[in-house]
Amino acid sequence: MRTTDLEVVRGLRLFCSMSEQAFDDLVQAAYVQNFPAQLDLIHEGEPADFLYVVLEGSVELYTNWNGRSATMGMVSPVTTFILAAVLKDAICLMSARTCERCKLLLIPSANVRAAFHRDEAFSHAIIIELADCYRTVVKEHKNLKLRSGVERLANKLLHYHTVQGGNGRVVLPYDKKLLASMLAMTPENLSRAFNTLRPYGVEVNGAEITFTDLKGLETLAKPNRLIDDRQV
């Protein structure tokens, strides 16, 4: 494993407070691997053999049931996924696949559980990480329960606008089919939602979105820090 990759991982909140010995033991059997786009990494119902750390690229967490599929979340650098399943030595409740070429660090689950029991700082960091994950799930549940599809789209666009610099335009980071799944919508409903936003100054040109009336869009979206602020 390259030293630079280890430094990136060491800098994560989850690992930064660990003792040097505990961190060395944790990553002793870990390895970095590159994966092509659209490759399934894990399947729901299977054991969680590794804790994954996304170093480059993006990963979609998704689920299937009765012929239906839904995106549960997106993972970008530098973030872990399936931590809860790893810690409980449980089966995965979601599947995961790469959205693009990815570089991932795979840490054996047994090493993670051993470090959790041996290193107090690491166990504390895991508790905080899982608490943050729980709060994120609550916010997403509120987003789905309390907002219409048009309102969810409007708030997602405002989020992208903030993240991408707030210059009056955004480039969608994912294709519209994936965006629809993230928002619990069909592609057809997403297309209709974009049309609904046109009077609010949302102009669509492929993956590029231009805003000509941000105040109007915000009035429709009604962003709420208890739903949309990831730091709360």
Same domain, 73 and 15: yes
Taking residue 127's Cβ as centre, other Cβ atoms within 10 Å add up to: 12
Q: Which amino acid is at 157?
A: L
- Local confidence band at 14 (pLDDT 50, 70, 90 cut-offs): very high
Q: Which amino acid is at 25?
A: D
Same domain, 115 and 156: no
Same domain, 11 and 83: yes
Boundary of a domain, candidates 74, 106, 121: 121
CATH of the domain at 62: 2.60.120.10
Asked if residue 1 has pLDDT above 80, the reply is: no
Same domain, 21 and 115: yes
Q: What is the pLDDT of residue 230?
A: 86
Same domain, 115 and 216: no
Same domain, 21 and 91: yes
Same domain, 54 and 101: yes
Max distance between CA atoms of the chain, in angstroms, equals: 59
Boundary of a domain, candidates 53, 87, 121: 121
Asked if residue 99 has pLDDT above 80, the reply is: yes
| Domain assignment of residue 76, given as a range | 3-121
- Dihedral, 2, 21, 42, 54 alpha carbons, nearest 10: -50
Q: What is the pLDDT of residue 3?
A: 81
Per-residue pLDDT of 60-90, as tens digits, reads 999 999 999 999 999 999 999 999 999 999 9
